[in-house]
Amino acid sequence: MNFSKKLVEILTSPGFYSRYFMFLLIIGATFTFQNCSKVRFASTPSGDAPPPNPNPLSVCTFQGQTLQIGDHVTAYQYPTVPAGQSCTSEERTCGSDGTMSGSFTETACTPQNPAVPPCTSGETAQCVSTQGRGVKTCTNGGWGACSPILCNVGYVLSGGTCVLQTCAANGENPCSKTITDYAMNSAGVGPCTSGNPGTNTCQSLICLDPSTSTSTQPLICEAVCNPGQTKTCNDLNGQGSRTCAAGNQWGPCVITACENGFTLDSTGTCKANTCTAPLAGCATAWGTGTRRCTNSKYEVICEPDVCPSRFSRVQKNGYFTCEPTLCKVGEMRNANGRCVTPVTPPPNPTITPTPTITPTPITPPPGNCPANQRRSSVDNQCHVLQISVNAVGGNDCSSSSAQVSQNIRWAGANAMACVAYTLTAVGRVGE
C-alpha cells in the first residue's frame, strides 16, 4: 500500500521525465564512444594487452621491491665474482599466482679488482722446514718451496733435509725439543748409545721459546697448554702470537709485525728489504746477533754474537749458531748441567788390629830367698822385706807367727806376708 503510493508520487513528480531522458542520453553516448575510439577498457580482450588478473590482490616481492603480475626484473647469481670472470644473470617474472620465476637472488654483481701478488719476483723470506729453518724466493708473484739452510740443535743438513746427527758411542749428543712448527722450545744434551740419539732423553739446558720454566734442575720448558690460551712468539723474522691448538699443543706462530729490515706481506710473511750496509744488528733466541747483507737483501738467519753458558759458538752450513758444549772424556754432567771431573773419594783406611801380647811366663830362679828376703807372688822374685811398725790399711797380722802367707804385700803389688821378727810388733811389709 505504501509502496504503490510512493511509486505514484515519483512518476507524477515534477521533472521526472526530464531526468529519465538525460539518463538514457548518457548511456547511449557511452556505447557510441567505445565503438569508435582506439582506447579499449581492461574488460575488452586484446592481443597485446596483459591478461586480466584473476586475483587483483596477488603481487610478488623481490629484495624489498613490490611487483605486479607480469612485472620482471634482472637478477644475478652472486654479488661479486673473481677478477677476470663475468657475472651470471637471469630474468625473473612475477606470475599470476604471486610467485617469481627463476632462482637468482642478487640485484647486482661486481667483478673483484685484480689480485695483488704478495711478493715481487726475487724477494726472499725465512721459512720453516722439518727440524730447521730455510729461505724461500718469490717467483711469478708467489712464494716458492722452502730450502733449509740451518738445522735445529741435534740435526745436520744432508741432501737438502735436516736429519739426526750421529754421536760418539756411550757419550753425549746435542738435542732440542720443538713445538708445532718445529720452532725450538729448548736445547740441551742427551745420552748416546751406539751412535744413535733418536730414542734418548733430551735434558734441557736452556729455554728458547718465551715460556715459563722451572728454576731448578732439571730444567723444564713449557710444552703443553690449555685450550684457548695464547702467548707471544718471535719467529720467522717477526713477532706474533701462538694459540693453544687441539691436543693441548701450541699452534704455529702467526706473525703480525716484522723486525727491522723486513716487511709484512698479505700472506703474513716477513720479506727481506733491500740493504746497503754489509752487516746489521738483530736479535736471536740466544741473544744479540748480526745479520748479513747479501745481493742487496738481508739474510734471513741472524747469527748470535755470543752464546750462553754451557753452549759454544759453532759454524753449521756456513752460519754461526750455538750448540751445547759436550762433556770431555772422563767428565760427567752434574745436576746443573755443567761438565765436571768426578772426585774419587780416598779409600777407607785399613784398620790393623792390635796384636794380643802373650806375657812370657817368668821362671823363678832356683833355690830359696835369703833370710831377709821373701819371694813375691807377683813376679816370683826375691825382695828385701821392710818392716812397718804402723801398719797401713787392713790385713794386719794378728800374731808374730812365723807362718808366711802366700799374699806378700810389696809396694804397688798388692801382696802381703806376715813374718816373725825379734820386734815385739808385727807390721805390714812392703817393697
Share of the chain above pLDDT 90, in %: 33
| Nearest alpha-carbon partner for 222 in 179, 283, 159, 167 | 179
Q: What's the number of domains the chain is made of?
A: 3
The strand pairing partners of 156, in sequence order, are 163
Q: Is the peptide bond before 14 cis (omega within 30 degrees of 0)?
A: no
Are 406 and 418 in contact by the 8 Å Cβ rule? The answer is no
Are 298 and 272 in contact by the 8 Å Cβ rule? The answer is yes
Instruction: Give yes or no: residues 218 and 258 share one domain.
Output: yes
Domain endpoint, select from 81, 111, 141: 111
Instruction: Give yes or no: residues 145 and 97 share one domain.
Output: no
HEC assignment per residue over the chain: CHHHHHHHHHHCCCCHHHHHHHHHHHHHHHHHHHHHCCCCCCCCCCCCCCCCCCCCCCCEEECCEEECCCCEEEEECCCEECCCCCCCEEEEEECCCCCECCCCCECCCEECCCCCCCCCCCCEEEEEECCEEEEEEEECCEECCCEEEEECCCEEEECCEEEECCCCCCCEEEEEEECCCCCEEEEEEEECECCECCCCCCEEEEECCCCCECCCCCCCECCECCCCCEEEEEECCEEEEEEEEHHHEECCCEEEEECCCEEECCCCCEEECECCCCEEEEEECCEEEEEEEECCEECCCCEECCCCCCEEEEEECCEEEEEECCCCCCCEECCCCCEECCCCCCCCCCCCCCCCCCCCCCCCCCCCCCCCEEECCCCCCEEECEEECCCCCCCCCCCCCCCCCCCCCCCCCCCCCCCCCCCCCCCEEEC
Instruction: Give yes or no: residues 107 and 132 share one domain.
Output: no
Are 417 and 405 in contact by the 8 Å Cβ rule? The answer is yes
Instruction: Give yes or no: residues 138 and 230 share one domain.
Output: yes
Write out pLDDT tens, residues 200-245: 788 899 998 766 777 677 788 877 888 889 999 989 999 999 998 7
Q: Which of 35-39, 61-65, 312-316 has the lowest mean pLDDT?
A: 35-39
The confidence band for 2, taking pLDDT boundaries of 50, 70 and 90, is low
| Nearest alpha-carbon partner for 280 in 257, 296, 263 | 296
19 located within any domain: no
Instruction: Give yes or no: residues 203 and 247 share one domain.
Output: yes
Are 259 and 283 in contact by the 8 Å Cβ rule? The answer is yes
Asked if pLDDT for residue 31 goes beyond 50, the answer is: no
Instruction: Give yes or no: residues 399 and 293 share one domain.
Output: no
Phi, psi of 61 (to 5 degrees): -125, 145
**Average model confidence (pLDDT) for the chain?**
76
The confidence band for 50, taking pLDDT boundaries of 50, 70 and 90, is low
Instruction: Give yes or no: residues 264 and 394 share one domain.
Output: no
Domain endpoint, select from 321, 340, 359: 340
Distances in Å between the alpha carbon of 145 and those of 121, 125, 427?
Answer: 14, 11, 125
Are 272 and 124 in contact by the 8 Å Cβ rule? The answer is yes
Instruction: Give yes or no: residues 386 and 321 share one domain.
Output: no
Region 299-328: mean pLDDT is 93
Instruction: Give yes or no: residues 128 and 101 share one domain.
Output: no
Hey, how many other C-beta atoms are within 10 angstroms of the C-beta on 52? 11
For 386, residues 6+ apart whose C-beta sits below 8 A from its C-beta are: 429, 430, 431
Q: What is the pLDDT of residue 288?
A: 93
Are 251 and 230 in contact by the 8 Å Cβ rule? The answer is no
Query: What global pTM score does this model have?
Result: 0.54
47 located within any domain: no
Give the cell for residue 160.
Answer: 737438502
Region 42-65: mean pLDDT is 63
Q: Is the dihedral of CA 102, 105, 108, 109 positive or negative?
A: negative
Are 222 and 229 in contact by the 8 Å Cβ rule? The answer is no
| Nearest alpha-carbon partner for 170 in 321, 327, 297 | 327
Region 59-80: mean pLDDT is 90
The strand pairing partners of 28, in sequence order, are none
Instruction: Give yes or no: residues 383 and 431 share one domain.
Output: yes
On the CB side of 29, how many CA atoms lie within 13 Å of its CA?
A: 6
Write out pLDDT tens, residues 127-146: 999 999 999 999 988 999 99
Hey, how many other C-beta atoms are within 10 angstroms of the C-beta on 207? 21
Write out pLDDT tens, residues 329-357: 788 888 778 888 888 877 887 888 777 77
Identify which has the larger pLDDT, 353 or 193: 353
Show the domain range for 98. Answer: 60-111
Going by their DSSP bridges, the two strands 262-264 and 254-258 should be labelled as unpaired
For 11, residues 6+ apart whose C-beta sits below 8 A from its C-beta are: none
Instruction: Give yes or no: residues 170 and 93 share one domain.
Output: no
Give the cell for residue 135.
Answer: 729461505
Give the cell for residue 178.
Answer: 720443538
Rg (CA), the chain: 61
Write out pLDDT tens, residues 76-91: 988 887 766 789 999 9
Instruction: Give yes or no: residues 105 and 134 share one domain.
Output: no
